[in-house]
Structure formats: C-alpha cells, structure tokens
C-alpha cells in the first residue's frame, strides 16, 4: 500500500510541478487518456496563467485505493480563513500507470 500511496501522490505532484513550469502538454499527461484532451484544452486556454492553478489545487490530506481505482481528498486554505476540499479520482491506465480521471 505505501508504494501505491506514493504513486498517487507522485501523479498529483507531477501535475502541480508541470503547471508551475507552464507546460500544458506535460501537465495533461497526468490525466487518463479518456479525459486528457479535455484537460489539455483547459490548460492551453490558461496559457501563462497555469501557475495560478497550483495554489488552488491544495494539499493531499487523505485517500483510499483499490485494485484499479483510487480517490484522494485535497484541501486548500482560503484567504477568508475557510477551507475547501475536493476529491481527485484516479485510475490505472492500460499500461498500469495511475492517472487522474477526474477532479
């Protein structure tokens, strides 16, 4: 389980790192093939604004993983002293690599 947890965290970290580098194509590679074009289109529209997404993504606080599906809970602190959270759904592609299937 620790290996899978690390893999899930790595995918999320990869996404955040590539957004900071303003690399929409590499950022989209964190997404499953079935949704990659949708994410790529959004990233391309944001252009140089990609780094502004990173703080919005927040920090992983918990999650669970099954044989080929996982979900992580991400929280972020807001300027008004409130918190928001959302789930990131992940699945293994045909090649066995974990990727984001929805946020």
Domains along the chain? 2-102 (3.10.450.50)
Return the pLDDT at 3: 66
Q: Which two tokens stand for residue 51?
A: 């780094």
Q: How many whole angstroms separate alpha carbon 76 and alpha carbon 58? A: 4
Question: Residue 1: its pLDDT value, please?
Answer: 60
The predicted model scores a pTM of: 0.90
pLDDT of residue 7: 87
Q: What is the mean pLDDT of each run of 10 residues along the chain (103 residues)?
A: 79 96 97 96 96 92 89 93 94 90 94
Q: What is the pLDDT of residue 34?
A: 93
Place of tokens 């899978």: 4
CA distance 52 to 64: 28
């Amino acid at each position: 389980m620790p290996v899978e947890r690390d893999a899930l965290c790595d995918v999320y970290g990869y996404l955040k790192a590539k957004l900071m580098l303003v690399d929409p194509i590499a950022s989209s590679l964190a997404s499953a093939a079935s949704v990659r074009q949708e994410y790529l289109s959004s990233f391309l529209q944001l252009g140089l604004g990609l780094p502004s997404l990173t703080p919005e993504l927040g920090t992983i606080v918990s999650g669970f993983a099954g044989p080929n599906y996982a979900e992580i809970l991400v929280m972020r602190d807001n300027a008004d002293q409130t918190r928001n959270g959302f789930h990131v759904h992940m699945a293994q592609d045909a090649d066995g690599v974990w990727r984001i299937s929805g946020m």
